[in-house]
A and B are shown apart, each in its own frame.
Chain A
Amino acid sequence: EADIYQTPRYLVIGTGKKITLECSQTMGHDKMYWYQQDPGMELHLIHYSYGVNSTEKGDLSSESTVSRIRTEHFPLTLESARPSHTSQYLCASSEGWDRGTQYFGPGTRLLVL
């Protein structure tokens, strides 16, 4: 069982609100990732981090931002939520490229009304 946590699990919020999705891992992994997944579809990488103070945008353009102030914490923020942001957001971490395995949190289902 992976030690990676996401809160909240479900979030229903109105348009224009600022939201932060939390992701924490207790495995000491340097690399962390955020993916966006629509129902029944593939995962798209939206942000990743090599380590503290290192963040990069992923392959799918996203209006969200991330920060990595501590190794274990990788929050994702939407400054002004819109209905188009409705999706599932999955956080993951990995030990390093040569091992490659990513450990996923349970996900946050976001619905923006």
Chain B
Amino acid sequence: SQQGEEDPQALSIQEGENATMNCSYKTSINNLQWYRQNSGRGLVHLILIRSNEREKHSGRLRVTLDTSKKSSSLLITASRAADTASYFCATVTIGSSNTGKLIFGQGTTLQVKP
């Protein structure tokens, strides 16, 4: 991919379980963002974490960032069937800070079974 890999590519869990998705990237970043895409639709921004931050929370979402390993993880706790979607990480690299250009990973497809 352009910037890195997402792992796993697909994840299937039962409602109520936690879902963890990982993202790795290649170059130094200004920030890393997670987006959600329901089938065939546009993307919705979930959370942004800056390069000087290590952890961020938003509702049932928890994002961590390890710049030494160039990796991030997204944890969704107490998953619901409505969380079924594809999740993408995207980075703004240091070189693209003034343009805000995002470089996307390949995405993780999450299925939450009722």
Contact = CB atoms under 8 A, between A and B. Distances in A.
Interface of A: 6, 31, 33, 35, 40-45, 48, 50, 56, 58-59, 88, 90, 92, 94, 96-97, 100-107, 109
Nearest to A93: B100
Interface stretch (B61-69, B76-84, B102-110): B102-110
Interface residues of B, number: 29
Contacts of A100: 30-31, 33, 48, 92, 100
Contact of A43 (B33, B98, B104): B104
Contact of B42 (A45, A48, A104): A104
A41 B106 contact: yes
A44 B99 contact: no
A100 B99 CA distance: 9
Q: When A and B form their complex, which 6 residue pairs have the shortest distance between CB atoms, in order from nearest?
A: A104-B42, A97-B100, A104-B43, A43-B104, A42-B104, A106-B42
Interface of B: 1-2, 30-31, 33, 35, 40-45, 48, 86, 88, 90, 92, 97-107, 109
A43 B92 CA distance: 14
25 contacts: A31-B99, A31-B100, A33-B101, A40-B107, A40-B109, A41-B106, A41-B107, A42-B2, A42-B104, A42-B106, A43-B90, A43-B104, A44-B104, A97-B97, A101-B33, A101-B45, A101-B48, A102-B43, A102-B45, A103-B45, A104-B35, A104-B42, A104-B43, A105-B42, A107-B41
